Structures are given as structure tokens and as C-alpha cells.
Structure 1
Amino acid sequence: MLGSSVRSATGGWMMALALAGCAFTPVTNNDAVKQVNSLPAIIAHRGGTGDAPENTLEAIRLSVEHHADAMWLTVQLSKDGVPVLYRPADLAALTDAKGPVAAYTAAELGRVNAGWSFRRSEAYPYRDHPVGIPTLREALHAVPATMPVILDMKALPAGPQTQAVVRVLDEEHAWQRVSIYSTEADYQRSFAAYPQAKLFESRDATRGRLVRVLLKQGCVDAPAEHAMTAFELHRALTVVEKFTLGEGRSDVQATLWTPATVACFRQKPDVRIVAIAVNDADDYRMAACLDIDAVLADSPEKMAAIRDSIALPLRCARSKASSER
């Protein structure tokens, strides 16, 4: 994902972004501690892209085997109007074919080797054991009925894909276990026509709220009750400082989920938070200490082992602001 641009008037704003979120860390002996008695759920990113070719039935199978708690799958529309699982704009990025998904029928995509570019150490294990691009319907059959599924909508226009996904969810009676996410606000608008749809709030809304809190503008627009939100735990940002005679730009690796931002998002009841791109033990513990509901991880196998190694209660150092309240 590309870095976001954040406009600022002072260098102090950049410092706030760069340093935010460092306070909640595991501790062994500290008077000002917070004890955490549960750990974030593990969502398999694109079915578990670190363990198998992403968005394939093989990835789904392994993520279930590795005890992932939920499945995140990426959806596009085939030439014949069938929702299928694939992420990049061009098939050449991951497969032995080329061109957009929309140039092929679902049957043709099923014969494409979605594991062509998957690499493990120095080998490409799926070049001799091809795995096709599955349909959404096939994926729903492969995911246990009790496991939540998050569908990340890719490709535009949104209307035709929304209608095709709605048909599958209706026919599979899958609305109760499926939530809809997209970086494209058009999908929030198109799925809003279906009251049974469970939607993550728009990425723009989540990003804007996070940045306003981090830049000390306050929590002026907390999410509505029962909202679902998702954003990266850490993210590269470009801070733009405006001067009288020009501007300055600085690249910052910012931590977006912090005690302050989580508190803002939790103003209303039952707001659920997913931290994206949590792939190591330190970040998983940070997410736990922040009371994040779930993390989006590339390797459920690795993250499940990390989760199993953490003894509860987990002791977390409180931020200075939290301990003084």
C-alpha cells in the first residue's frame, strides 16, 4: 500500500505521529501496569498469503488447520460476472497468465495457476502443483460455517460486483458470517442498499479520525455504535509542512493505533477494531495491550504460535497519560 499524505503546520505534528503509540509494551515489574486477559483474534490475510498462494483454497485450508479465527478474502469479478478471489490488477503479478481478471471467465480463471509466483525459500513449490483462482462460492464452501469471513472488494465499477456478491451471499445464506470491506468508498455506498450487509466504515473516515487524534485535534467524531473499523498498526506517512514561501516534506513511519486513538474509537459501545499488518510478536503484544479486537496477519501459522506462547494475564505498561487519569 502506498503511504498517505498528511498536511501539517508545525514540525511538532510530525513528531507526534512518529512517536505515538510507544507506551503500551509488555513489562515484568512495574507499578503502573495494565493486565490483559484476552488476546486479539487472528484474521488470515488473503487466506494466509504468507503460508500459501493468496486467496486460494489451499491458503484457506492451511489457515483453518493453523487455527485462524477469521478469513479475509479479496474479490473481483470475472468476465462472465462471477465473483472470484484475486487481488492485483493484472494476473501477471501472481499467476502464469496476464491481463485483468475481467478478461477471463470464471472457468478459465480456475485453470490459471494462482501459485505460480509463490516462493518458499528458493523454491516455487506450486509451479509443479498448480492451484487455480477459486470463485467466492467455492471459498465459502471451504471456510467452516462458524468462521467469520471479511470480503475485501477490489476493482471498479462497484455496482456490478456488489450485485454479483449479493446473489452469492443470498444463495449461500452467508450474510450472517460475512462482512464487507473496501478501500473504495463506492462499495460502502453500493452495499448500503442492502440492510443485511455488515460494512466496515470507509477507510477515509478511519484514516481521518486516526490522524486528527494523533495530531492533537481531539476526538470530535467517534464512530457510531456497532461500527467496524480497520487500519494498519504502523504506516508510512508523508508529512507536508506549509510555510509562507513553500512547503517541506518528511517521510514518517507512524503508529496509528495508540491508547488515545483506541479510546476515541471506543467512545460508543461495541465498536470493533482490526489492526492491519500485524506480523510479529512485538506488534501482536502491542495490539493485545491496546485491546485491539483482531489483527490481520499474513501467516496464521506463525501468529498462532506467537499467540500460544503468550501467558495470560499479559502485563502491559500503561502510558503516562493513562496512569495519570
Structure 2
Amino acid sequence: MRWTAAATDAGRQSAGGDRRPLVIAHRAGTADFPENTVRAIDGALAHKVDMIWLSVQVSRDGVPVLYRPADLSALTDGTGKVADHDAAELTRLNAGYQFKGTSGGYPYRTHPTPLPTLEEALRRIPQHMGVLLDMKSADGQALVPAIAKTLDAMEGRGRREWQRVRFYSTEKPNLDAMAAYSQARLFEDRDTTRTRLVTSRLTGNCLNAPRSGTWAAFELRRDVTVTEKFTLGEGRSPIKQALMWDRAAAACFHTHSSVRTVLIGIDSKDDYTTARKLDAYAVLADSPERMMKIKDEAARTSR
């Protein structure tokens, strides 16, 4: 069975026609297991998530690997940047080295879990499941062709990866570089999504509603700073955990059909309920274990 949007949409249906947001495992489940590892992927699959979100960078020798931070020391027993090491070196690192267990210790220092390549991760994930790739490298000219080469090679061996992968990045140049590949399916760039949200929240106006079929992702809440320009300077108002989405903003995004909104940072029952009221297509959750229980409970309470 291969991934299709229609098949995935079936996961939103519950009794009475209720449409619950799908659950996407953020970094494969960063709260449950070491992020972006095969161990996390296996855990997310065991909890029956709807899709998986992975962070990808590129090695010195052009191999896409799963890793998020700027320095390897943040999560692994290595040091330096991903781009400074060959894939063979990277895959020998323990990607769970800095992961703290519930007891406060470091369980993966005695039970290592390797840093995986993108190909290894995709092969682990069933073909029917959608995969969202967050391109984390600042050098899109190195990362993007490396990803494309990997997907092309897997397609040449009978798999259909391009049709189930969708690309996200906080860096618009990465999305622009990936857009050169006709097979690539992209999220709307973050600047466009943010501007539409802020315009709606501050003015009530719907600025350039996204066209049908667009995917857009942004946090439900986010620390922001409002800057006011004066003749002789500027004033700044920092706002902690500003609510970025409301009904008017959601309605703006859903002006046209088949727009899929993904709300980031949804890790509680209250936030999942909010996402549901806003007709979010999916939520990005750090703990698949916790969020799938919340989604299942939402199905029971809607009957």
C-alpha cells in the first residue's frame, strides 16, 4: 500500500463524521525517544501515528542524515558540524548520548542508538505513511541535491518516495532550491504563513488566502516581538507565547478547498482540542505516546 492524501485523510474520520487532526511525530517523537533515530521511528510506528516529521542535514561526502542541532555535541557523543564529517563517521555516533530518561539518567549511553541516514529512515517507515522532511542545513545547495539523489536512487529500486515526502524549512532558500525539482512537494514558506497569521490577528483581514492544495505549518503559540518604528528610533514589545491562530485566521487559511494547516507544538489535550476547533489538518506532537491517547480519547468523547 502506498501513501496518498486520500488514504491519510481517512485517519481523520471518526464516528459521526467528526474530523480529528492527524498526529505527526515531531522528530519521530523527541519526547519519547532520542529524536530523529530509528528507535524513535519504531516507537512512533508502535503508537500508530499518522505521519512522521524528520530533520535532515547533509554529510561532508553528500549523504543526507537525520540530525537537527548546529553542533553534534548537543545530542551525540561527537563534536563539530554534520557537514564537517563523512557519513561513515556520523553513523558511528550515538544519537541518544544526551537523552535523559524519566529517572534522570542517560539510558542510551549504555544502549547506544546510531545516527541514521535518510535512506535508512525511509526504509524503516511503511510506504503508506507520509513523511515530512525539515531541511535544517544552511547550505541548501549541498543538501537539496543530496536529498534528491537519495530519493531518485530509492525510486530506481521500486519505491515511491517523492510522492509521500513533503519538504519544510525555516530557510526559504532551501525551499526555493527544492522547488527546482518537479516531483518535489513543498510547504508554503514560513514568511508567507507568518505574515498572513499576523495580519489576520492584528487587523482582522485575510491577506492572500493560500491556493487550494497548500500545506502551511506554524506554532499555535510563539514568542514574538512587535516593533514600532519612530522617526528617531523604535519601540519593542516582547510578547510571550502569543496565540498565533484563532477562528478568523483559520478561516482565512481555509478560504479555498484542500488547504492543510499543521499546528506545531501541540502536546496537551487542551491544545489538541483547540486545533480541532480550528479545523487543523494535523498537529505536530513531541510525544506520540501521549498524543495518540488524546486523539483516541477525542474519538470516544465525540460519539
Q: Give the TM-score taking structure 2 as reference length.
A: 0.89
Match of 1:235 among 218, 222, 232: 222
Say yes or no: does 1:192 pair with 2:179.
yes
Task: Tell me the amino acid that sits aligned with residue 90 of structure 1.
Answer: D
Q: What SS does the corresponding residue of 2:163 show, helix, strand or coil? A: helix
Q: Which runs of 5+ in 2 are unaligned?
A: 1-15, 156-160
CA distance in 2, matches of 1:288, 1:250: 30
Q: What SS does the corresponding residue of 2:107 show, helix, strand or coil? A: coil
Match of 1:69 among 34, 37, 50: 50
Write the mapping of 1:63-212 to structure 2, written as runs, cut at 5 A.
Answer: 63-121=44-102, 122-173=104-155, 174-212=161-199
Q: What SS does the corresponding residue of 1:176 show, helix, strand or coil? A: coil
User: How far 1:241 moved relative to its partner?
Assistant: 3.3
User: How far 1:242 moved relative to its partner?
Assistant: 4.0
User: How far 1:217 moved relative to its partner?
Assistant: 5.2
Match of 1:224 among 170, 189, 211: 211
Task: Tell me the amino acid that sits aligned with residue 272 of structure 2.
Answer: Y
Q: Which runs of 5+ in 1 are unaligned?
A: 1-34, 316-325
Q: Is the 8 A contact 1:36 1:314 kept in 2?
A: no
Match of 2:158 in 1: none
Deviations 1:122-146 (A, max 9, x none): 1111000111110000000111111
Percent identical residues? 52
Match of 2:264 in 1: 276
CA distance in 2, matches of 1:210, 1:314: 29
Say yes or no: does 1:266 pair with 2:254.
yes
CA distance in 1, matches of 2:233, 2:113: 53
Q: Is the 8 A contact 1:118 1:126 kept in 2?
A: yes
Q: Is the 8 A contact 2:166 2:185 kept in 1?
A: yes
Q: Is the 8 A contact 2:75 2:96 kept in 1?
A: yes
CA distance in 2, matches of 1:53, 1:184: 24
Q: Is the 8 A contact 1:275 1:287 kept in 2?
A: yes
Aligned positions, number:
281
Of Structure 1 and Structure 2, the greater helix share is in 2
CA distance in 2, matches of 1:78, 1:245: 47
User: How far 1:245 moved relative to its partner?
Assistant: 5.6
Task: Tell me the amino acid that sits aligned with residue 250 of structure 2.
Answer: V
Greater CA radius of gyration, 1 or 2?
A: 1
Higher relative contact order, structure no. (Cα contacts within 8 Å, ≥ 6 residues apart): 1
CA distance in 2, matches of 1:39, 1:220: 27
User: How far 1:300 moved relative to its partner?
Assistant: 0.2
Match of 2:25 in 1: 44
Q: Is the 8 A contact 2:20 2:299 kept in 1?
A: no
CA RMSD of aligned residues (A): 1.6
Task: Tell me the amino acid that sits aligned with residue 111 of structure 2.
Answer: H
